[in-house]
A and B are shown apart, each in its own frame.
Chain A
């Protein structure tokens, strides 16, 4: 935005930044990035395996818009939202625009965004179009243009909010002195509007945010907004249609859903009436909307307004509906579906931007100026073959804004996304927005998929504003008693696995650290106990054949190679790296259920995972440090989930997973270590190892100062209910968790589960440690102990399976009814 010179309202900011000095600026820039990483602000890049969970990029320098100019933008956006709303209501209602020849019928009827089954479905609310966003660009003459409209499920409000929280933290005094408009009011209006959409009057509406899931590019935002607004984050499988209503299926049973904040593309929302190949949606949803028993924002079908061909007709439509000119012009656009406009596009191909009318038709945006003669000819042919699929758009010479990189301030092209929400009588514009800048000075493409950077956007008020935030309100709202119960089976499943993987990772890390210590110090080299410990590594991580197949235990290099595989080979089933990846994946799927402090720790775990993958065999000793850090992070994670989570259903499933896994690990470890009869040094080394891994060595030493006594050891590790790392403790907790599970009407499965858990718990309580310690002279093993552990070991996976079937995956996958063809002849 410094076209020639710097606009006056930038002076204060630029001087302040200048005054900080470049070292301080860089420091704050890094601080901003660190905050985003800590909150796990991410944007997923499609088609790139490394693109999942890519950190969101934020520039330190905000975009400034002065009050007077903002008023113009605001009025223009409000006008445009009103206009598009009228177009939407017409398209799915009387279709006057088409039938009276104001718009070519092909513009509507041939566009994939026009959902035929949604015709005449009532669109509740003061406006059919609840959410609206527009991408704005400023040309070098200072004129603001609309580049495109976002009406499907506009994304970005969450990122805008996150950007604001970060920048106001790293530039606090600048932010305060700049009298920037606050964003909270926009979200408050959003909540009010969604409340009023509810078809059930007089009752507190149940509102959910429907997301396609963690693989979606803006999933971070779905979880972020669900938390901020206080809605349950759901995926299609969490919802079901019965009795002409939508229900959220929770562990407690079905809860009615009144309003759906939709972040899934409409065509995927219902395989019965919309795309029948969609596995993401809610079968029967369209019909419930038709009956008026659920409100969806934005309504199904709203994607039609994103047809860029409409841009060519908006001035006409503005005159038709509002009797006025557009306050903010669209970038000049021509639709090839009309001969006159097509001719213009074909004649000016070399300087226009060619876009598809819909992203689903498999055509990427082409910049005519960058194409060779041959490419232009090919493009011409594509357009001529199916003209109505393309538009040509004037390429804009965008003005630039300053961006801070490692070397200093650089000019970049920028696009501002403005957000609107339908209020009671008017649209409300978010005072600010999401500014995105190109990845380099020469690029005209500004998109997150292409690696763009974002900026906070400051609308400068003439006077300071009162500070309000929904965060504090939400905390109060969260204490409402019924919120805790709304746990869909999918969430319970992921929580359960977060618990299991976290525990498995911790156990594996402790064991691997110990084995590596022995190997690197040479302590116990060649001994039976050392060999046994290595086999324990394989048993514990189930990375067979591993050390069980090693014949030569003196070859240190081979041992190191195998240990490294178990530590860092992502491809190896059971490896620590794989367990950590699975932990991160499960945690990201329930990100709205975990606190921001927990996220900080999860990011540390992610960092350690990456460090572990970088370790080479000649630097394997480095792994010791990394494992130390990892164990600290995992312990912190356990501590946070223990201390900082409300003891609701989510937590109880996480803890159930943890207990099952810990019990399994203790059983395996006991079998790999003290179930084998050894003596002297070997016995000491093995039992000490075991106690170290279960973190009970100190307790043992304190109680039994002298030597190794297997019965006492077994008592501490297996039977002592006061030891949180004992087997008995795990079973007691399991018994409690399972007894507290919601009862399922249709079966006795819950009482059956309780019985299994109780039985296992009492088996452990009543165990006779002296009898278990008796060795069998022939097998050289403690057979009674082996048998005892085996009996318990089979119960755990069975318990986990029953939980899965009963609580996590209660419905079978939907599929299509077979269809028969018409086949008559005479």
Chain B
């Protein structure tokens, strides 16, 4: 499936910003299931410089600075991406989850050894005992890995309420677990923590999801949003994505932008500004449209 994604972030400040330095993770990476024909950043006002490089996780990272005074900053990423569908073998035929842990810890394959960075605790994945007790039911002895993770994904989808008003970026995992509420980001972090505490490699994926309007209704431009899900490393198979927010294994509707240990590694846009006053406004619009081929 081919898409054109337009992601606009707009900041409005009450006072002039005299200087800002920013980092963006907005340009989609190329993956085994995804190609990217075109991608560009449109920044207004014109930045003094834009630099792009590949970060430790292989993402396309861009930095830019604006040196003229401004009260409005708009960053638009336009990308054309093709996502290919892949088929997974049946979950029950995969390697047992304990064997997967064993494999990751004993392999001599450099790339797989490197994946062990995705087993470690990180800023947004607090290793707390509550997480272990939550994940226990999904990790029965000798259960096939894909089966176990799919079960975990379904349980999160069932047990947790999607509630954009409940959590913020700073809400700790403990609170999310306690109140059983959150957004896609929280669910991804929860699942990742469950997997890592079992000794598995799991990573955070940031991207977009094509939304399909209800039958007979026109799709609204800009109604989409950025999305997040997780991926688990399955020996001999590679990384497999899961979307706990929608209880789906991503196929052709998930567009990957970047991945990392957690949100902090791949925040779409972050930066430091000088000035800007006390009041500022943030507007985001995302539009995922299919391109006819």
Chain A residues near B (Cβ < 8 Å) = 95, 98-101, 105-106, 109-110, 116-117, 119-120, 240-244, 271-273, 276, 283-284, 287, 290-291, 386, 811-826
Determine whether the beta carbon of B282 is less than 8 Å from that of A823: no
Contact of A244 among B19, B49, B55, B169 (CB under 8 A): B49
> Would you give the shortest CB distance from A113 to chain B, in whole angstroms?
14
User: In this assembly, does B121 line the interface, its C-beta being within 8 Å of a C-beta of chain A?
Assistant: yes
- The residues of A that contact B206 with a CB separation of less than 8 Å are 822
Q: Among the interface residues B212, B269, B271, which one has the most CB atoms of the partner chain A within 10 A? A: B271
The smallest C-beta distance from B128 to any residue of chain A, in angstroms, reads 11
Q: How far is the CB of A93 from chain B (nearest CB, A)?
A: 11
Q: Tell me which residues across on chain A come within 8 A of B209, comparing CB atoms.
A: 824, 826
Chain B residues positioned under 8 Å from A271 (CB to CB): 272
28 CB contacts below 8 A, A to B, read: A99-B113, A109-B116, A110-B120, A117-B55, A119-B55, A242-B67, A243-B48, A271-B272, A272-B21, A272-B272, A284-B21, A287-B63, A290-B51, A811-B19, A812-B18, A815-B273, A815-B276, A816-B270, A816-B272, A816-B273, A817-B22, A820-B226, A821-B167, A821-B169, A821-B185, A822-B183, A824-B184, A825-B183
Q: Give chain A residues whose Cβ lies under 8 Å from the Cβ of B225.
A: 822-824
A105 contacts B113, CB within 8 Å?
yes
- Determine how close the nearest CB of chain A comes to the CB of B281; give it in whole angstroms: 9
A242 to B65 CA separation, bound complex (whole angstroms)? 8
Given contacts A241-B21, A272-B23, A822-B226, contact A817 B11 (CB under 8 A): yes
Cβ-neighbour of A825 out of B49, B121, B246, B286 (below 8 A): B246
In residues 233-249 of chain B, which contact A (Cβ within 8 Å)? 245-246
Q: Tell me which of B49, B245, B271 contacts A272 (CB under 8 A).
A: B271
Question: How far apart are A358's CB and chain B's nearest CB, in angstroms?
Answer: 14
A291 CA / B22 CA spacing, docked (Å):
15
Q: Is the CB of B183 within 8 A of A284?
A: no
Contact indicator B228/A822 (Cβ below 8 Å): yes
**Of all chain B residues, which has the CB nearest A96?**
B110
Let me know if B274 and A116 touch, CB within 8 A.
no
The chain B residue sitting closest to A824, CB to CB, is B227
- In the complex, the chain A residue whose C-beta lies closest to that of B49 is A244
Q: How far is the CA of A825 from the CA of B157 in the complex (A)?
A: 11
Q: How far is the CB of A112 from chain B (nearest CB, A)?
A: 11
Q: Which residues of A contact B23 (CB under 8 A)?
A: 272-273
Q: Is the CB of A101 within 8 A of B113?
A: yes
B20 at interface by CB-CB < 8 Å: yes
Given A95-B114, A105-B117, A272-B23, the answer on whether A817 and B271 have CB atoms closer than 8 Å is yes
Scan residues 244-291 of chain B and give those whose CB is less than 8 A from a CB of chain A.
Answer: 245-246, 263, 265, 267-276, 280, 282, 284, 286
Instruction: Please determine whether A814 and B108 come into contact, CB atoms closer than 8 angstroms.
Output: no
Given known contacts A110-B120, A284-B21, A101 and B65 CB-to-CB distance under 8 angstroms: no
Chain B residues 170 to 192 lying within 8 A of chain A, measured CB to CB, are 183-185
Instruction: Report the bound CA distance from A751 to B64 in whole Å.
Output: 36
- Residues of B contacting A284 in the complex (Cβ-Cβ under 8 angstroms): 21, 63, 65, 272
Cβ-based interface call for B164 (8 A): yes
B275:A812 contact, CB within 8 angstroms? yes
Assess the A98–B227 pair: CB atoms within 8 A: no
Partner of B274, one of A244, A812, A819: A812
The 9 A-B residue pairs with the shortest CB-CB distance, nearest first, are: A824-B227, A99-B110, A284-B21, A109-B117, A283-B272, A119-B56, A824-B225, A817-B271, A822-B228
Residue of A nearest to B112 (CB): A99
- Please measure, in the bound complex, the distance between the C-alpha atom of A509 and the C-alpha atom of B120, giving whole angstroms: 62
* CB within 8 Å: A-B pair count: 150
CB distance from B243 to the nearest CB of A (A): 9
From known contacts A272-B21, A817-B22, infer whether A822 and B184 are also in contact, taking CB-CB under 8 Å. yes
Apart from A823-B184, A824-B209, what 17 extra A-B contacts exist at CB < 8 Å? A99-B110, A109-B116, A117-B55, A120-B53, A242-B19, A272-B21, A284-B65, A287-B51, A386-B127, A815-B272, A815-B273, A816-B273, A817-B273, A818-B11, A820-B226, A820-B268, A825-B183
CB distance from B277 to the nearest CB of A (A): 9
What CA separation (Å) do A186 and B155 show in the bound complex? Answer: 64
> Contacts of B275 on A, CB cut-off 8 Å?
812
CA distance A795 to B273 in the complex (A): 34
CB distance from B260 to the nearest CB of A (A): 8
| A241:B65 contact, CB within 8 angstroms | yes
- Choice from A815, A821, A822, A825 contacting B162 with Cβ under 8 Å: A825
B168 within 8 A of A: yes
Interface check B224, CB cutoff 8 A? yes
CB–CB A242/B169 < 8 A: no
Smallest CB separation, A677 vs chain B (Å): 52
Question: A283: which B residues are within 8 A, CB to CB?
Answer: 21, 272, 274
Name the distance in Å between B276's Cβ and chain A's nearest Cβ.
8
Chain A CB within 8 A of B198 CB: no
Give Cα A826 to B127, complex, Å: 29
- A813, B274: Cα distance in complex, Å: 6
CB proximity of B24 to chain A, nearest CB, Å? 11
With a cutoff of 8 Å between Cβ atoms, the chain A residues found around residue B48 in the complex are: 242-244
Q: Which residues of A contact B116 (CB under 8 A)?
A: 105-106, 109
Proximity string of chain B (77-114) to chain A, C-beta cutoff 8 Å, 1 when within and 0 when not: 00000000000000000000000000000001011011
CA distance in complex: A822, B49 (Å): 27
Q: B9 at interface (Cβ–Cβ under 8 A)?
A: yes
CB of A824 within 8 A of CB of B208, answer yes
Q: Chain A's nearest CB lies how many Å from the CB of B30?
A: 19
CA distance A819 to B9 in the complex (A): 10
Whether B269 contacts A109 by the Cβ 8 Å rule is no
Q: Is the CB of B11 within 8 A of A244?
A: no
- Which chain A residue has the least Cβ–Cβ distance from B16? A812
Q: With A and B bound together, what is the CA distance between A119 and B61 in angstroms?
A: 13
Least CB distance from B134 to A in Å reads 18
Q: Does B211 contact A (CB under 8 A)?
A: yes
Residues of chain A lying within 8 A (CB to CB) of residue B53 = 120, 290
A287 touches B21 (CB 8 A): yes
**A101 vs B107: C-alpha distance when bound (angstroms):** 9
Within the complex, the shortest CB–CB distance from B241 to chain A, in Å, comes to: 14
Measured in the bound complex, the distance between the Cα atoms of B269 and A116 in whole Å is 17
By the criterion CB–CB under 8 Å, are A818 and B18 in contact? no
A826 to B247, CA, bound (A): 10
Q: Tell me, in angstroms, the Cα distance from A100 to B108 when the chains sit together.
A: 7
Report B-chain residues with C-beta under 8 Å of the C-beta of A99.
Answer: 110-111, 113-114
Pick from A242, A244, A273, A822: contact of B227, CB under 8 Å: A822
> When the two chains form their complex, are residues B246 and A826 in contact, meaning their CB atoms are under 8 A apart?
yes
Nearest-Cβ distance from residue B63 to partner chain A, whole angstroms: 5
| Distance in Å: Cβ of B129 to nearest Cβ of chain A | 10
A208 CB to closest chain B CB (Å) equals: 19
